[in-house]
Amino acid sequence: MAGPDDPKKSEWIDRIKSEGSIPLLDPDNCSNGWASPPGAAFKIRGPEYLTTKAKIPAGDYLLKPLGFDWIKSSVKMGEILKHSNSRVRKVIDNEFPAGDKPFVWAFNIQLPTKDNYSAVAYFTNKEPIAEGSLMDKFLKGDDAFRNSRLKMIANIVNGPWIVRKAVGEQAICIIGRALFCKYCVAENFIEVDIDIGSSMVATAIVHLAFGYVTTLTVDLAFLIESQTESELPEKLLGAFRFSNLNPASARQIDPSSVLSTGGLQKSLSKRLWKSIGQILLPGSKEDDSTSGSQNTKIVDHKNSSTDFKK
């Protein structure tokens, strides 16, 4: 299997990084672009977490950033890498026609908006995955295992008070427990389609945040949760930053080139908007059992007004 240190890496990786609808920029200056934030910006479970609950700044990523897509379509988009005409797949297929292709990880965040926006982050392995490692178990495991382990950490680096209040200083989510995820696993890639619209509260927060998207800087990291002492400390798979995204910059995707995973999102109900008020009310329970920060919010269950707890 080809890797990022292959002699061919410069051309194909640079193409994928540069040919998205928004540019790759410096993390400190990436307006209407994307970047790779420092790992230390995220807090993860340390080596003694099971006894002390202590978290530590994350170190280097296990995966190498490969690219970012800001796209929209008339349908909700899923299983993007399964289609040979998707832009990342085309670059890799053309570069490695004889096989021995690099392994790609894709995280497709499907936003519950009328234009079906998706923010898709792509990563590739730095080195072969060790047999029996947590990454190996994740790839070979079933969806129940993946749903119980795949974690996302969200940091609002910059943005208006109302969004920072709704999300918290660092939002931590076991994705499969809070949202519907579809895993598309093939010989040379894994894609996780994350349906934000499957949670009432997550939908409310995204609708709130989307109104301020041109003023937001957000860091999102992905990792496989460590649940035993031998798996600690945790390590980040990868992360990306987007800043001041312009919805008009999203590339329009032909529905025939992607799998439709649902129709247009339904308009928000009064109950949904009421949940925003519940999220923003002071006096929520503090729970330090899974975080070292009192401003961290945790997501545990689908479609519950208590999905996000301080």
Give the CA angle between residues 33, 10, 105 to the nearest 5°.
Answer: 60
Helix (H, G, I), strand (E, B) or coil at 151: strand
Mean pLDDT of 1-8: 51
> In this structure, is the dihedral angle defined by the CA atoms of residues 290, 293, 294 and 299, taken in order, positive or negative?
negative
Residues 112-139, mean pLDDT to the nearest whole number: 96
Banded model confidence at residue 278, pLDDT cuts 50, 70, 90: very low
Listed range (170-174, 238-242, 248-252) with the worst mean pLDDT: 170-174
Measured between alpha carbons, how far apart are the two ends of the chain, in Å? 43
Query: Could you read off the pLDDT of 195-219 as tens digits, one per residue?
Result: 999 999 999 999 999 999 999 999 9
pLDDT of residue 188: 96
Weakest-pLDDT range from 16-30, 84-98, 257-271: 257-271
CA 108 to chain centre: 7
141-178 per-position pLDDT tens digit: 999 999 999 999 999 999 999 999 998 878 999 999 99
- Cα–Cα distance measured from residue 103 to residue 186, given in angstroms and rounded to the nearest whole number: 9
SS3 category, 266: coil
Where helices occur in the chain by DSSP H, the ranges are: 9-18, 49-52, 87-95, 134-140, 143-149, 161-167, 175-178, 200-210, 270-280
Count Cβ atoms within 10 A of the Cβ of residue 179 and give its class: 0-12 exposed, 13-18 middle, 19 or more buried: buried
For residues 180-189, average pLDDT: 97
Return the pLDDT at 286: 33
pLDDT of residue 102: 94
pLDDT of 296 reads 45
* Closest to 167 (Cα-Cα) out of 176, 155, 158: 155
- Mean pLDDT computed over 67-91: 95
The domain locations on the chain are 9-281+289-309
What mean pLDDT comes out for the span 33-57? 97
Q: How does residue 261 score in pLDDT terms, banded at 50, 70 and 90?
A: low
Amino acid identity, position 104: V
Q: What is the pLDDT of residue 51?
A: 97
Longest dimension (CA), the chain: 59
Residues of the chain above pLDDT 90, percent: 75
**Which tokens is 302 given?**
């689908």
Structure tokens at 90: 């085309």
Of residues 87 and 274, more confidently modeled: 87
| Phi, psi angle pair for 21, to nearest 5° | -75, -20
Q: Where are the beta strands (DSSP E) in 104-163?
A: 104-110, 118-125, 150-158
**pLDDT band at residue 54 under the 50/70/90 scheme:** very high
Q: How far apart are CA 263 and CA 74, in angstroms?
A: 8
Mean pLDDT score across all residues of the chain: 85
Look at residue 282 in the predicted model and tell me its pLDDT: 40
Given a cut of 90, whether residue 291 has pLDDT beyond it is no
Phi first, then psi, for residue 210 (nearest 5°) are -65, -30
How high is the pLDDT of residue 10?
72
Pair type for strands 236-243 and 150-158:
unpaired
Predicted local distance difference test score (pLDDT) of residue 219: 97
Asked whether the predicted pLDDT for residue 253 surpasses 60, the reply is yes
Give the separation between CA 274 and CA 260, rounded to whole angstroms.
30
Residue indicated by tokens 């509260």: 201
Q: Is the CB of residue 104 less than 8 Å from the CB of residue 81?
A: yes
